[in-house]
Structure 1
């Protein structure tokens, strides 16, 4: 039952990457101001970078689950295997993306920083604009085993670590502590600012490991999911009205309600068997499977197609559609030729519990 439930999370991966790709595509083509009318539903597009928070939530669920299983079964966590699994999961496609980026842009001086996830923003042109989330993801990968080691040594010390972080998080949110504009941006985008959504995911991971998730029938689950979709639309519209990117930097507390809403969506999906499942190759699940490669590839491809089409005096929508199709095709190739072989090697390090991997976006 637990593994069947986890398979549903591929659907949420598909939702997350769809939101991110549409956000980058539409805003690159038409700007960040949505047209009048239907704003609440367009908020899913113009605040689509919220899909990254959904990815963080999914990582919190899946990456923490093996630790909770080991804790439940009173066995040590194999940290060497854990690190090998994480490296095989994220490094091959990412390093390929870095290689292509420096070859296209000629910014070879950024290779050392990119290799250790310190190059993002526009350090390597448009290629590196999405790399910040990989840095945050890697920070979580390092934090998690350290936290469980502390937890195994002294639970009060582990609680103290979380309390210190919480006090700092609240102080930054209330503007009692400031690192300067650039420092505040780094904080908001780092694990320090994004830890709430990871912890919410870890809480769901604990429920999965302990097999404590409820089971909802299809109708109540569908009604709850519909209500959450409406509430999310309203919430995201608020962020659109305040400037999506700037609002998240200046008001970092926004990650808490955002995480709670996405966490509620995940809980409903996991608790309602009738909402998940379906054919393995249906579109949403397919997007979930290739979401990491698509995340790394989509923005430079979209920008290139929009720029080329503009020079050729093409209309915007055909350019955008061409970029989306080309990004999907390249992501499929990357998944087939790079990710799948790496995942096959990664499976050699898998434990008997067949812990699922989490996509690092």
Structure 2
């Protein structure tokens, strides 16, 4: 779904002090990718399917694990941070557009194309059902415009391809924002990102007020989900201003306290979701999540190597982050195949259901790991052989590092 999902990994640099920030690998961001996809998996494999017949504990688990849906909000913030950072660092390069789009295509299209081929082949073999079908035209998937068809249908469409709405939003973001960053004078980038993000928040709430009968519109319309992308982009631009970042780093303790405060609001957010999910999300929920995850990212960037962020540097979480894109794309398809093969309705209500979901999870992770090792990683490496032209390019982009937390 995402630059955050779509890991644009660089080999370790011999001298990272003399490189654009977008070329410097941050282990904690790999871990945040892992957290984001783990949240989504917890929701789809447990929270969304757990049977209420299992009792109050199951209902409570579903009410808590619905927070897993916010993994997409985290992906958007990470995507904005990573992509806007690349664009700002390379905006003066002669081959800015060619290299950016070529690298994006090499990273995004192979797993996505494989998913579409599998989805269309299976849809042709079976009659339209919950997982597979032709409700959304094939060409909308091919052009990354399926999110607009979801709005038109007022439905997710086939479950096996439903998660691609967020990939569509990111692709549209990739197409438009390189032009915006290229044409916008540096001093206007921050005000522009703030303006776009604010307008997106207002438009989302307004859309829900005017079209309450179509809750898909404020959820998947690109222009109504730009606040997270812009917030991440705003942080990327600020981080590239040494004076501003140094001042922000001086407020590190205050930012950590604000992060803890917003995390402490999660129970209130979950209660509000149970009472009025649509109104909660579209009036203030997505905005709250944008602020929460922006604070988390800021805190992570300001405490490099700290014990408090040690979990994000753990090998399992970073490895999950490296395969998060394909994992995100394929897990609904494997869930569907597992339950279709068993002739059962998608539900977690017995040990046999748990076994089906475990098999789907294992298949997803195995495919994702194989895809990353044998295809994606090699294509990313090839993409980085397409170097940005040094002519007029910013060679060095540095910030004053934040002091390490103990």
Identify if the C-alpha distance between structure 1 residues 62 and 101 changes in structure 2 by more than 3 Å, giving closer, same or farther.
same
> Residue 126 and residue 41 in structure 1: after superposition, are their counterparts in 2 closer, same or farther (change >3 A)?
closer
* Of 189-198 and 313-322, the range deviating more from structure 2: 313-322
Encode CA deviations 1:182-218: one digit per residue, 9 max, x unaligned.
Answer: 4x63343122111111111011111332341655999
1:69 alignment partner, one of 86, 89, 92: 89
CA contact (8 A) 1:61 1:201 kept: yes
1:201 is aligned, of 228, 232, 247, to: 232
Calculate the TM-score normalised by the size of structure 2: 0.71
Distance 2:258 2:166 in 1: 30
Q: Tell me, which stretches of 5 or more residues in structure 1 are unaligned?
A: 356-361
* Alpha-carbon separation, structure 2, partners of 1:215 and 1:9: 18
User: What SS does structure 2 have at the residue aligned with 1:348?
Assistant: coil
Report the CA distance between 1:238 and its aligned residue.
2.4
Residue matched to 2:276: 242
1:113 is aligned, of 140, 164, 176, to 140
Equivalent residue for 1:326, pick from 354, 359, 363: 363
Q: Which moved more, 1:330-339 or 1:106-115?
A: 106-115
Range with greater deviation from structure 2 (44-53 or 90-99): 44-53
Superposition pairs of residues 126-205 of structure 1, within 5 angstroms:
126-152=159-185, 155=188, 163=195, 166-167=198-199, 169-170=201-202, 172-174=204-206, 178=210, 181-182=213-214, 185-205=216-236
Q: Does 1:342 align with 2:374?
A: no
Distance apart, 1:134 and its partner CA: 0.7
d(CA) in 2 for partners of 1:39, 1:230: 22
Who is 1:99 aligned against? 117
Q: Secondary structure at the match of 2:158?
A: strand
Q: TM-score, normalised by structure 1?
A: 0.79
* Structure 1 position 152, deviation (Å): 3.1
Q: Please tell me whether the aligned partners of residues 28 and 303 of structure 1 are also in contact (alpha carbons under 8 angstroms).
A: no
Q: Which runs of 5+ in 2 are unaligned?
A: 1-16, 125-132, 398-406
CA deviations on 1:11-63 (whole Å, 9 max, x unpaired) are 11001000111111114531589964698886552231110010010000000
Q: 1:168 to 1:227 in 2, by over 3 A?
A: closer
Measured on the aligned residues, the alpha-carbon RMSD in Å equals 4.1
Q: Which residue of 1 aligns with 2:103?
A: 85
How many angstroms apart in 2 are the aligned matches of 1:26 and 1:194? 26
1:14 — aligned with what? 34
Deviation string 1:253-278 (CA, Å, 9 cap, x unpaired) is 43211100111111111211213467
